[in-house]
Amino acid sequence: MALTDPLSQYVAMRMHADEIDTDPGLVRRLLAAQFPRWADLAVERVESAGTDNAMYRVGTELAVRLPRIPRTVDYLRREQHWPTVLAPQLPVEVPVPVALGEPGDGFPLPWTVLRWIPGSNPVVGRLADPEALALDLAEFVQALRKIDPTGGPEQQRGVPLSTPGRDSATREAIAQLHDDIDTSRALAIWDRAIALPEPPGVFWSHGDLAPGNVLVRDGRLSAVIDFGGAGVGDPTVDLVIAWNLLPPNARQVFRTALDVDDDTWERGRAWAMSIALIQLPYYRDTNPGLVALSRHVLAEVLA
């Protein structure tokens, strides 16, 4: 991960009207008050396109994760518990908390200390071995789906595409993007996808498989991070990595490894499109990395 600590750029990083300000000084105060054994370690902001949490590296072995907005606290609580349960059953490393912070010292929300996982985010168009990475990702998705879903939390995106909130938000985003994309094409893809039958059964899924939540070492998958949205439901949404990261040949390798039928593949493509459509207008002026990724996904889906 690339690291930076430009406090002068912090305002430009704000993405939400109710976003809470954080900086390295705040992290130091929180650590000093609640975990003084780490208070003297260096603190650096982690450069990230993440929208729900601010991340800071603490020393060489730790990371602190702070929710940016109050409504994501449920996600934080989820990732404070479930990765510990899931980790032994997954083929790659996931972020398991080492300490749970509470509100205090000017920060009103709970927060987390985790082990720093080495690796880098893969870059679209610059994958060392796309097909091998596709197989690694398929193995991760398969392993997650094999975990007993009993008692797991509901996956917010593990719902039919036709769910009123998802359908209306997607259509509203399409209406806002008439200068950016072929809206007729997008609507046709969406209408066709929501008419498809939904698959039976529920499984574990990550919910936000994207380049920013994947770590690689030597071109191979080494970790999957950000389990705030993980849960149980229709796992089709985990297919989005095929469009937000993988090139066409590797995309097919991923599909073949998962043995995905035509209807499920079309729903996965529609999920990738819907997420990108909603992100693009919302983050247009505040998150250039996420906007660039959204444009890439839409170009791939609408091609």
Distance CA 151, CA 81 (A): 13
Q: Are 52 and 67 in contact (CB under 8 A)?
A: yes
Distance CA 110, CA 131 (A): 39
Domain assignment of residue 155, yes or no:
yes
Q: Are 109 and 121 in contact (CB under 8 A)?
A: no
Model confidence, pTM: 0.92
> How many domains is the chain built from?
2
Domain-ending residue, one of 115, 139, 171? 115
Which CATH number belongs to the domain containing residue 45 in this structure? 3.30.200.20
Domain assignment of residue 121, yes or no:
no
pLDDT values of the chain reduced to their tens digit, one per residue, 303 residues = 332 222 223 333 566 666 888 999 999 999 999 999 999 999 999 987 677 889 999 999 999 999 988 888 888 999 999 999 999 999 999 999 999 999 998 899 999 999 999 999 999 999 999 999 999 999 999 999 999 999 999 999 999 999 999 999 999 999 999 999 999 999 999 999 999 998 878 999 999 999 999 999 999 999 999 999 999 999 999 999 999 999 999 999 999 999 999 999 999 999 999 999 999 998 898 889 899 999 999 999 999
Query: Residue 28 belongs to what domain range?
Result: 7-115
The H or E element containing residue 37 is none
3-state secondary structure of 111: strand
Where does residue 151 fall: left (phi above 0), alpha (psi -120 to 50 degrees), or beta otherwise? left
Do 219 and 104 belong to one domain? no
Do 176 and 264 belong to one domain? yes
